[in-house]
Chains A and B, each alone.
Chain A
Amino acid sequence: MRRLREVWNDVFFRPASPIDLTAVRVLLVVQAFWILLSRPDLPELTAWPAEFWMGVSGFTRLRFGLTGSLFLERALFGLLHVALLAAGLGLRSRLSCLVSAILLYHFAPVEEIIVGMPHTFFGGLTVPVLGLFVLSFAEIPVRGRAASAEYRWPVALVQLLFAFTYFVAGIAKLYHGRLGWFTAETIRGFALAHWSMTEPPWALWVADHPAVCWTIVVATALLEFLFPLAVVSPRAAALLVPAALLFHVGIVNTMRIFSPGLPLVLLFVPWARLVGRARGVDTSEAPRYGRPQC
């Protein structure tokens, strides 16, 4: 129990530089902007005929605050852009992060709301929504301030929420596919099914090589179940983040599935150290398992 508390304190409360927290805020904002600028028509779904909305209950509309007014939705979409810009620039940081999070929560499901949001988690806005909420409750990073636990826990939590992208995906495979998911036959099935729909360039080669399929199974299991270690250990992050990038290159070429949230792997870059090195300043953090400061 004591050891667990030490790890908890180390992960969430070891002193960290305000640069790390600023970097997380900028990354979340840039990611959200990238998706929003690529989905310029989100408010327009409001104007689609009622036939397309027949599967969306009043409770769902209430849950996401859907107004039903095209004028209002366009205005809120505009406000979201302003709020994100302010958050990115650090203007009224908490308020702009909170408004951005609320409006992202409002708009992110729209892309798939008419069919019950089966893949909204994969749209690239899940971590920004939760992350911007977290930042709106956190200390505002001030340039030049000393390292503090207040700059660490929001960073670690956002990293952990990103790590769940992989870890929970692993649990989902266990839940729905049981241990039988983790076989070469499953990978072969996916490769051939996707080849039959979108002809990814590596699909047939993967399907024809059982050893490759098994390698993918093992690599998938290791990456998904171990990814939370990237939050705990910078060394683990240095292994797992490049592995995740390779994993996604493989998925795109075998299944033509792209992860719009992928740029957020940059959350694991030690920004304060990089900035310190660039400036020739030692920004090394306080000793591990030291007395937590808050």
Chain B
Amino acid sequence: MDELARLALLLVFVGLGLKCLRSANGEARRRAVNVFLGYTLVASGFVAVTQRDAWPFTTYTLAAFRARADRPVCLDEFWGVDAAGREWRVDPYTWSPVFDSTLQTWFDYYFASLPEDRKRTALGFLLSRAEAGRGQLAAGRPIGYDRRLGPALSAPYWWLVRRSTEVTPTPYVGLRVYRVCRVPERLRRDPASRTRTLLSEYRER
């Protein structure tokens, strides 16, 4: 139901905007425009103060929490495996329109709750995407966000993680998902303190 309330917030905005359009010139129109402006400010303010997102009236919560350098930072990493058993980091643009970090979040939220056959379906799909991306990159063609405008002109995803555009010339036959954790303070003192845990593995039958 929250979703419908969020939709209603936008629909009222649109309704009041349309009312401005229909109002004749003069006082009535000025009143309609003032109501529209006031509603837009109140809707934006309500979302800001309550921090209940109703995009496109939104909370802008990026970097709003307090970061701690003495706490572990964990990310999931997707690695393709070739026929020789070598691992290759899958490029973050491979999953376009979903970015690598979004896929990581999906993996953390939902993957574990899937039954085994559906886990295989999901990982099999990801392997096919990873292999398609590898093939394009191996042929020197841009993928994902770079496909139309090229790397120089395209709008990157907001998080500028390192690309992995060097790929194996041989196809991937498997996919591994690792969780990599580090404590920033400790990592500075000891670069080997990063831990890497295999979360899931998929192999073509």
Contact = CB atoms under 8 A, between A and B. Distances in A.
Interface string A243-284: 000000000100111111000000000000000000000000
B59 A54 contact: no
Interface stretch (B46-54, B78-86, B171-179, B196-204): B46-54
A124 B55 CA distance: 12
Q: How large is the interface on A (under 10, 10 to 19, 20 to 34, 35 or more residues)?
A: 35 or more
Contact of B73 (A161, A177, A193): A193
A63 B161 contact: no
B114 A137 contact: no
B56 A105 contact: yes
Contacts of B51: 171-172, 175-176
- Residue of B40, B66, B68 most packed against chain A (CB within 10 A): B66
B88 interface: no
Contact of B4 (A63, A129, A192, A198): A63
A36 to B, nearest CB: 9
Interface string A29-71: 0000011011111101100110110110101101100000000
Interface stretch (A17-25, A84-92, A107-115): A107-115
A76 B42 CA distance: 32
Nearest to B61: A172
B162 interface: yes
Contact of B49 (A157, A171, A190): A171
Nearest to A195: B184
Interface string B138-177: 0000001111110000111111111000000000000000
Nearest to B21: A137
A251 to B, nearest CB: 9
Nearest to A120: B55
Given A122-B62, A256-B159, A260-B157, 10 more contacts: A34-B149, A34-B155, A108-B56, A136-B17, A161-B44, A168-B48, A168-B58, A169-B62, A190-B63, A260-B156
10 contacts: A51-B118, A62-B3, A108-B56, A112-B99, A119-B158, A122-B158, A130-B40, A136-B17, A177-B66, A294-B26
Interface of B: 1-4, 6-7, 10, 13-14, 17-18, 20-21, 25-26, 29-30, 33, 36-37, 40-41, 44, 47-49, 51, 53, 55-69, 73, 75, 96-99, 102, 105-106, 109-110, 114, 118-119, 121-122, 125, 144-149, 154-162, 182, 184-185, 187-188
Interface of A: 12-13, 34-35, 37-42, 44-45, 48-49, 51-52, 54-55, 57, 59-60, 62-63, 94, 105, 108-112, 114-115, 117-124, 126, 129-130, 133-134, 136-138, 153, 157, 160-161, 164-165, 167-169, 171-173, 175-177, 180-181, 186, 188-190, 192-193, 195-199, 204, 207, 252, 255-260, 292, 294
